[in-house]
A and B are shown apart, each in its own frame.
Chain A
């Protein structure tokens, strides 16, 4: 197969090229090639997008999402590889669940799915999960996502033990005693709505803790879904003094502010919460200066039953796979913050590098994982059109640019529109 007449993000720039794919690999990139192929005039080829923070809900919560529906949503969103968090039922804390996810994803055969194992058994914060066994079965990292490991000592042990197996800890940062049942950011809008807020320090204290552990132990650590300006600053300072810390954020943190909670729309309920303009601007700055390495969705699909209730009772989370690229492109590239190759790095090369995955570049010899987009197409987010089971998005009705046309995994077209 030849991809013809496309603009290609390659080697840090964008150039017009044809791409020849043979046996699932990129065989040649050249200005113009003979032969039949897919005409991509007007379209742009990106390295296959990678989302290192997704909840597939399978096993256990298939009413919200399963590996099939989640994978469909992923390829519709342009993702060729996704990493799924372990807060399943049973918890992904052993090789059996890791193998189930890998096997099921292979049957589904859409995008590549990499399980992330739990840090502790049952995510209970006590005994370490079977980290070695999970690694052998295919886990690419460990995380307690949804909460932090309460004991600093257990967390330190986890970082060290995981490092023996070449795995990083991906840290959801939340001091639960300080959050104390808070459901939104503490500020003007929490007071206005009377919804219980939690202050930035509830996130920052654990960000600082994980950074200091990594620094003391000379080990790497990755900070999940940063939402505070002060968290960005903690990571920036740590990087400057040589700590091996990487970090991610999500489209909702650089697109929305907590004003959206005023309507009590439970689709705005997410953890960590959407914060203030000051935080939004700092996250954009952090993406620009490299403090924040990648953009993830924290795709957290929920059934309508979990959201059509009182705000305090509603589930946390946003269904993000199908809007992530367009929101990021619209906000960051059209907004003049990042170049297209820089955005591609945040959504492909950087997560690949952090987790040691293949991919992240359009290069001869690499797997033909490609995302082909129409950057000029303007469209309106409509949750009814989502293929994810989770229709929970605060972006309904928003106009965005950038539509995924083809998602190609190992040379096979897994999605086209």
Chain B
């Protein structure tokens, strides 16, 4: 049973809750592998996805997770401009509450927006990514993938490379993996490394090789072209050359180390195509883990009421 009304971030979930989500997520994943997509867990429940940012994979993943368990699902795509001019988030939340939604899944370009919504509504709120803050379901699906492949998270070394400064995925993984006993190393151009992340338990590395050395998992994070335009690095080409993960760099990792990426991938920038399509890549498997872990979150949040 989760101790919170909402799933807002891994900073506030404890190891026991994370373990429970991963355990239930594993069961869901087994059912999905058997192509079982008609479960009763959310029958009679309403789930609304409220996305203030464009997203295909995360929104689809939540939608399918809810539908596979029998929920009514409504998708609201609010354009970013409506954040500035339209109805306030608080008022939107009150409306969704009045419609008897059980769960609101929110993605928002601004950190803290899910917390504001959660304070406003009676419905359970799931953070599907808020600005540069957290993306808990992504980190949980990453952890589920690692646990399934490597047995336990305890004692693992996970190297995260890419745009860490702007990444809610990196932070949620850091919080979650640390709680489960893993070591998290990070490497990025200095312009894309967040201040004081080491004080949150990350091992900040000064080279790709140092980050990857002996790692069980190597995770790339998407480099957005807009970061280049903001002057964080000269070009994607230069990024790939000096910061990207390629086969040479992977030689430093533990033999058979997993290659992961939250997607969408820039081929040849964060990771080479050889690694993306290679035997140790778990990038496609992460997608199935995503649905499974989101089923677990939705189920555990609404369970008490069934």
Contact = CB atoms under 8 A, between A and B. Distances in A.
Contacts of B197: 191
A310 B83 contact: yes
A370 B111 CA distance: 46
B200 A310 contact: no
Interface stretch (B29-37, B65-73, B128-136, B294-302): B128-136
Interface in B69-99: 83-84, 88-90
Given A186-B195, A191-B195, A191-B196, A312 B11 contact: no
A68 to B, nearest CB: 28
B194 A310 contact: no
Given A195-B112, A264-B116, A310 B89 contact: yes
A309 B87 CA distance: 11
A81 B171 CA distance: 48
B124 interface: no
B134 A313 contact: no
A41 interface: no
A34 B196 CA distance: 66
Contacts of B229: none
Nearest to A264: B112
B113 interface: yes
Contacts of B113: 310
A197 B195 contact: yes
Interface string B111-131: 111011000000000000011
Nearest to B117: A310
A311 B115 CA distance: 10
Contact of A310 (B108, B171, B199): B108
Contacts of B11: 192
B188 to A, nearest CB: 13
B199 A188 contact: yes
B88 A308 contact: yes
A309 B171 contact: no
Contacts of B131: 194-195, 312
A159 to B, nearest CB: 32
B168 interface: yes
A126 interface: no
A328 interface: no
Contacts of B134: 194
B196 A193 contact: no
Contact of A191 (B108, B115, B130, B200): B200
A228 interface: no
Nearest to A305: B88
B171 A194 contact: yes
Interface residues of B, number: 26
Interface in B19-54: none
A308 B199 CA distance: 31
Contacts of A264: 111-112, 115-116
A188 B11 CA distance: 14
Interface string A296-340: 000000000100111111000000000000000000000000000
Contacts of A190: 194-195
A308 B131 CA distance: 18
A306 B230 CA distance: 29
B107 to A, nearest CB: 13
A196 interface: yes
Contacts of A193: 111-112, 133
A194 B133 contact: yes
A166 B171 CA distance: 53
A309 B89 contact: yes
Contacts of A310: 83, 89, 108, 110, 112-113, 116
Query: For this complex, into which size category does the number of interface residues on chain A fall?
Result: 10 to 19
B111 A311 contact: yes
Given A187-B196, A191-B195, A197-B195, A313 B112 contact: no
Nearest to B109: A312
A146 B148 CA distance: 53
Interface string A187-207: 110111111110000000000
Nearest to A193: B111
Most buried by B among A190, A194, A197, A308: A194
Interface in A49-64: none
Contact of A188 (B115, B130, B195): B195
Given A194-B111, A194-B130, A194-B133, A309 B116 contact: yes
A194 B168 contact: yes
Nearest to B11: A192
Contacts of B89: 309-310
A191 B197 CA distance: 7
> Which of B84, B110, B134 counts the most chain A CB atoms within 10 A?
B110
Nearest to A184: B111
Contacts of B133: 193-195
A377 B20 CA distance: 51
The CB with the most chain B CB atoms within 10 A, among A191, A311, A313, is that of: A191
A314 to B, nearest CB: 10
Contacts of B194: 190-191
Interface in A246-261: none
A311 B171 CA distance: 19
Choose among B84, B89, B90, B111 the residue with the greatest number of A CB atoms under 10 Å from its CB.
B111
B90 A309 contact: yes
B83 A313 contact: yes
A309 B111 contact: no
Given A186-B195, A310-B83, A195 B200 contact: no
Nearest to B135: A194
A187 B90 CA distance: 28
**Chain B CB within 10 A, most for which of A190, A310, A313:** A310
5 contacts: A194-B133, A194-B168, A264-B111, A308-B116, A310-B116
**Which are the 8 A-B pairs with shortest beta-carbon distances?**
A194-B133, A194-B132, A264-B112, A194-B111, A188-B196, A191-B194, A312-B110, A310-B110
Interface of B: 11, 83-84, 88-90, 108, 110-113, 115-116, 130-134, 168, 171, 194-197, 199-200
